[in-house]
Chain A
């Protein structure tokens, strides 16, 4: 399919559908703004599904469209350009589904993929624990088989969108006494049950996008283990490997939008006359161009199996760029940035300022990212 035609198709569909009751969702939702219209955004997921826009990367045999990376990316760009809201279903669609397609049983694929594809079932990720952050393999949540079901005991934390989800995938220790990466099992667990309690975690912004999830003898079916029991680490890592897909690269469209808001504010309030602000805005634009070129290079080498430098540096590079943008945005806003505002641009920039502090912590802190670069790309000793 021709990319230009495809882009026009996406843009046309978005114009036609992101309207009426959905119009208020434009540029809303996503990290830092997850409390915006949660119910309506779920309805929007179903609208997207009806347009055939979920599962673009999945194989056709699993109900996907099997589009090449270039078109997946074109979709994400046009989606954001049109103001498409932050996705509620992205964890299921872009992380769990590819994992089930690669490592799940046919029964699991039949059971779970249609709900994700239809925008009806939402997922969250149960990896981190209070004692297992950067050192993920230190998890202590336990699981065991009992009367033909699996039971789970323990606590997960930083669970994005657990309160909006039906399911959680959980990494838990199935071999008593095991340590590290051994003896772990990857389970799919329904959240609506007596053995699970979800407590919101109020974050710096005052909102609660993350949760603590407590498991007290929670249960799930025997058929809800992905991979073999004890092989959970491999499954969990395979899932993380899907994190750098087209949707991650598509986030640069959000960055362009945010930088444009900074430019607009600076022009409006006179900050654009400050020579130091001018240098910083130019640096932000130059840095974003650097990220874009790096992402293009990642795409060009997407088929390469070896971890490449442009891929290994990417998370550190974008998260630090984004954090700097948040600071720049507030400096450009000046005293007006003190006020909680209903103005779309001001609210968005304030969210960037606060939420970008999390960007350099989640999905591998800055410090862990630098370790990864040094050890994998530069082969420096542990």
Chain B
């Protein structure tokens, strides 16, 4: 375990280097070319199922699943590379919900039988899961919207989760629910459960579908509870932190695309008889985009390379770094892309608006940047 305290840490070592292996480079190139061709941000949602099937053929949902559960047994670096490329093309797919979040929750909070039963189906992508925690995908047991009580040998769930990520395409959800005594558990709920109503929501970022899930006396068998109680709290805290890291990877990809689009456009666009990319006012905006983007990319790659070795405290601090830097970079790059495209940057036809919406989406989920900063501040300033 690496506990990385700022005042004592060895700051730079070659072992923490972020050079990609040949296999990782191949994965990245495959993803980049596949998504350049099949990215669906501007295609009708009716084709999303077919695209998911193709992603599954490529084995992407199996990347982080251990081989004993029919996965590829690769790590966070590979997952982050895929997320980066998906972010670049604004992919609309349940990958974040099902692979990054639901799988990670199973790996870190579920009991052995639930892992064995559920991971293989999620690894092939045959089944798609989502995760329901507190609003905005935050681990805050007191704020869980779904309540649970014993019902004979089984469980009874009530309450409404108002914004469920990819809730409409999901076959099942892992739902963190709270008991009257304040404790919590993790439950497996099929999308077709009796008493469950799913309502698709109208969203600004149409690449991130959401639904409301209303639980009205949803009854589960005893086996519907899937957590190992002592793992629930650290496991779901880790799930959110790791989710924030992979969201950061996705944001880096989006920011990179905003920069590439802006540079390409300003090189083409002529005013005053010359490409506007030759004006310093334009160059400096693009250069500042690159500074934020590449700093965030360095952080995401470096943290992904060591995330599996971090203890809980170091993990939270590291993921705060990725979260804050990447969220800031993406918002900045998306906003600059709109500006640098001039009038067309405000139109539906050009892509900056899609990134602008995705960047805003990403800053509201997984805990806002200010909450992550406060967590860092507490670890620096409030220690005994």
Contact = CB atoms under 8 A, between A and B. Distances in A.
Q: Do A and B come from one complex?
A: yes
Interface string B248-261: 00000000000100
A290 B374 contact: no
Interface stretch (B7-15, B51-59, B90-98, B142-150): B7-15
Nearest to B326: A290
Interface stretch (B156-164, B180-188, B299-307, B344-352): B299-307
Contact of A77 (B10, B284, B287, B376): B10
Given A292-B12, A378-B290, A382-B278, A299 B284 contact: no
B11 A375 contact: no
B42 interface: no
A182 B7 CA distance: 48
A162 interface: no
Contact of A370 (B14, B16, B288, B381): B288
B12 A249 contact: yes
Given A279-B370, A313-B295, A289 B321 contact: yes
Contacts of B275: 381
Interface residues of A, number: 57
Contact of A380 (B7, B286, B298, B321): B286
A380 B18 CA distance: 27
Contacts of B1: none
A144 interface: no
Given A278-B374, A282-B374, A300-B14, A317 B291 contact: yes
A158 B86 CA distance: 49
Contacts, number: 163
Interface string B308-352: 000000000010110011000000000000000000000000000
A312 B378 CA distance: 33
Interface string B209-229: 000000000000000000000
Contacts of B9: 256
A374 B373 contact: no
B280 A297 contact: no
Given A77-B12, A317-B291, A286 B376 contact: yes
A286 B381 CA distance: 14
A312 B288 CA distance: 12
B325 A252 contact: no
B194 to A, nearest CB: 46
Decide if the interface of chain A is mainly helix, strand, loop or mixed. Answer: helix
Given A260-B7, A290-B296, A290-B298, A313 B290 contact: yes
A253 B278 CA distance: 38
B178 to A, nearest CB: 28
A290 B259 CA distance: 19
A377 B290 contact: yes
B14 A299 contact: yes
A266 B381 contact: yes
Interface in A273-319: 275, 278-279, 281-283, 285-297, 299-301, 309-310, 312-313, 316-317
Nearest to B284: A370
A373 B14 contact: no
Residue among A260, A312, A317, A380 facing the most chain B CB atoms (10 A cut-off): A380
B294 A309 contact: yes
A263 interface: yes
Contacts of A252: 11-12
Interface in A82-120: none
Given A281-B380, A370-B283, A373-B287, A290 B295 contact: yes
Given A293-B301, A310-B298, A300 B13 contact: no
B302 A293 contact: yes
A70 B13 contact: yes
Contacts of B18: 293, 296-297, 300
Contacts of A382: 278
Given A286-B320, A299-B17, A300-B17, A278 B381 contact: yes
Contact of A279 (B14, B278, B373): B373
B16 A381 contact: no
Contacts of B299: 289-290, 293-294
Contacts of A70: 13-14
A267 interface: yes
Given A285-B6, A297-B301, A380 B267 contact: yes
Contact of A374 (B286, B298, B372): B286
Nearest to A289: B321
A272 B283 contact: no
B280 A371 contact: yes
Contact of A295 (B12, B318, B324, B377): B12
A330 interface: no
Interface in A327-370: 367, 369-370
A3 interface: yes
A296 B284 contact: no
A120 to B, nearest CB: 31
A296 to B, nearest CB: 5
Interface in A222-250: 249
Nearest to A259: B6
A374 B17 contact: no
Contact of B12 (A299, A367, A371): A299
Contacts of B284: 367, 370-371, 374
Interface of B: 6-7, 9-14, 16-19, 259, 263, 266-267, 274-275, 277-278, 280, 282-284, 286-288, 290-291, 294-296, 298-299, 301-303, 318, 320-321, 324-325, 370, 372-378, 380-382
9 contacts: A77-B11, A256-B6, A279-B374, A290-B299, A294-B295, A296-B13, A300-B14, A378-B287, A381-B278
Which 10 A-B residue pairs are closest in the complex by CB-CB distance?
Answer: A300-B17, A374-B283, A293-B302, A282-B373, A278-B377, A373-B287, A294-B298, A370-B287, A282-B376, A293-B298
Given A282-B380, A380-B286, 19 more contacts: A77-B11, A249-B12, A256-B6, A279-B373, A282-B376, A283-B324, A288-B6, A290-B298, A293-B295, A296-B298, A297-B17, A299-B14, A300-B18, A370-B280, A370-B288, A373-B290, A373-B291, A374-B283, A381-B267
